[in-house]
Every structure is written in C-alpha cells, then in structure tokens.
Chain A
C-alpha cells in the first residue's frame, strides 16, 4: 500500500471515529433531555397531587416556580443540543436536579398535608360527637335539671 492510500484510509478512519463520537454525544444529549422531560413530568404529577391533598396555595406557588425554572433549563438544553452540547448537558442536569428536589419537597408536603387532614378530621368528628352527647343529655335530662335548679332556688329562699 502506497503512502497516499494509507493517508486516505487514515483520514476516513478518523472521520468515522469523529462521526461516531459526534453521534454518541448527540445520542447522550437526547437521552439527557428525555430524562429531564420525564423527571419534570413526574415532579409535576407530585405537585398536582400535593395541591389536591390540600397543601397551601403559597407552598404550591413556590413549587410551581421551581417547576417553571426546571422547564426553562429544559428549554435551554433543547435549544443548545446541537450547537453547544456541553452547555446543553449542563442545563439538562440542572433541570433534572431541580425537578428531583421539587418532587421530594412535594412528596414531603403531601405527607404532612395528609397527616394534618387526618388530625383535623379526627378533631372535627370527635368534637361533633362530644357536642351531640352534651346536647342529647341536655334534652333528656332537661326536666331533672330544671327540678335541680328550682330545688336550689327553694333551698336558698329557705336559708334567707
């Protein structure tokens, strides 16, 4: 094999490696963006769940603000995926990290909200039963109470 032939083969080999590497980078990029999208969807479902479970509007607004930031990072990652893969990768990672922390926070708030709701319900229904008991007793024993009060009055008069 002559030298120019070897050079041509070498160049083709290098181009093939370069093309393959580029394809791997683009593929990795696409996987990272898909991961960020999935994580964002999961985080949103968790925040929606938290909202349905009665987490306060202020806390949900803060979680929504985090989700919007994660969405912006994801948008930047998608926009830069071909022109600047490393920046795109950094944005995708930031999006995943923020979505993950939002997911964890939403789950904690959901658990707290459920516990609080349970305690509120136990308190409210217990109070309802106590008040019902007092009212029923008052109605049934009204005559006796009246007699008792009158008896006390008579006793006081006698003492006077």
Chain B
C-alpha cells in the first residue's frame, strides 16, 4: 500500500511538472526577434526613382513627394521619431550606433502599434539657393516648413539627406537614437544623395 502511495506521489509530481510546463508554454507569448524595419519610398511607391529627371538632380522649385514606411516588430507599441538632416559629402554619415552631426532640418513623430506598418510623408523642395565662398547653400521647404541648413556644396553637387530613426524611451523620458536591441541600441539610418542645379 505504502509503495503504491509513493509511486502515486512520484507520478503525480512528474505529471504535474510536465503539464504545468505545457500550460506555461501555451500561455507565454511566442519569442520573436525584435526589430524596426523602414524604408523611404519615392512618389511611385518604389525604393528607386526618387527624382523625376536623370541622376539625382533637383531643380529649384521642384516638389518631391516621398514617404517612409515603418514597420514595428518590437513586440509593443513604439513612439517613433524620424529626424531629417541635410549634409554634404564631407559629413560622417550616421551609423548603427551614432547619429550624424549634420544639421537637423525637421522631424516627424508617430505612435506605431506592434506588428503594424505606418507611413510618414516627406514633401520637400529647394525654394532657392545662394552662393557663398564658392559653395552653394540651400533654402528648402520640408513638410511646409522653411529651413536654411548651414551646409554648402561646391557647384550644388553631392548634397545628401540623412534620415535617422529614433525611439522614445519611457525610462529616461526622451527620444534615443535607434531602437532597443538585445544588448545595445541599433541605429538604422538611411541616406539619399541629390544635386541642385544652379
């Protein structure tokens, strides 16, 4: 009788452990790699053909309508900010860990629920340009706001946009560059080169 009780207790404990583990597994959220994917799309909705003419030439007064598509696969809702910077060829571009030092010319923020893709419009134009010390400087309109970045390029050639993705960190109460990876933050910058005809 005692032996039977001992066997019962051992079996009950083993089955309980196995079935509780199964219950825990079934209730747990499936683990998945956390990331934010994004891209900048031209007016035709593709990842190319950003400019109407040949090459990457922009004429003064030409309006370009691009948009960002941002997919949140971080497992929870994210507060995302896209920062726009204008630079010339000599600026160090942003990378996986550090943002660029080029002047910020605008930003847009949006809340994106998990597993969803959101879109942000970027409508911009070069309203005028001026020559100073042999360099061409731009007056631009970005999403309706006039900006004059203190960045010049010889002959108006090889300007570029840096686009950086920042996420809001509730713990520190501020936007931080990139998004939270497993061990460190991950930056995913984008850039588009352009030339401005004089």
A1 CA / B197 CA spacing, docked (Å): 65
A135–B111 touching, CB < 8 Å: no
Binary per-residue interface labels of chain B (59-81) against chain A in the complex, 1 for a CB within 8 Å, 0 otherwise = 00000000000000000110100
A44: B residues at CB distance < 8 A:
77, 79, 111, 168, 170
A74 CA / B26 CA spacing, docked (Å): 42
Per the 8 Å Cβ criterion, residues 32-58 of A in contact with B are: 41, 44-45, 47-48, 51-52, 54, 57
A88 CA / B16 CA spacing, docked (Å): 62
Question: Shortest distance in angstroms between B196's beta carbon and chain A's nearest beta carbon?
Answer: 27
B15–A136 touching, CB < 8 Å: yes
The answer to the question of B130 belonging to the interface, with a C-beta cut-off of 8 Å to chain A, is: no
Interface size class of B (residues with CB under 8 A): 20 to 34
* Partner pick for A57 among B79, B111, B115, CB 8 A cutoff: B115
The answer to the question of A133 belonging to the interface, with a C-beta cut-off of 8 Å to chain B, is: yes
The answer to the question of B90 belonging to the interface, with a C-beta cut-off of 8 Å to chain A, is: no
B29: A residues at CB distance < 8 A:
54
B170–A48 touching, CB < 8 Å: yes
Binary per-residue interface labels of chain B (3-30) against chain A in the complex, 1 for a CB within 8 Å, 0 otherwise = 0100110011001101110110011010
A64 CA / B110 CA spacing, docked (Å): 9
B170: A residues at CB distance < 8 A:
41, 44-45, 48
Interface size class of A (residues with CB under 8 A): 20 to 34
A124 CA / B111 CA spacing, docked (Å): 34
A133–B76 touching, CB < 8 Å: no
* Partner pick for B173 among A41, A67, A129, A135, CB 8 A cutoff: A41
A-B residue pairs in contact (CB < 8 Å), sample of 29? A44-B77, A44-B168, A45-B170, A48-B76, A51-B76, A51-B113, A52-B76, A57-B113, A57-B114, A64-B77, A67-B111, A71-B111, A121-B23, A124-B26, A124-B27, A127-B23, A128-B20, A128-B22, A128-B23, A129-B19, A129-B20, A132-B16, A132-B18, A132-B19, A135-B15, A136-B12, A139-B11, A140-B4, A140-B7
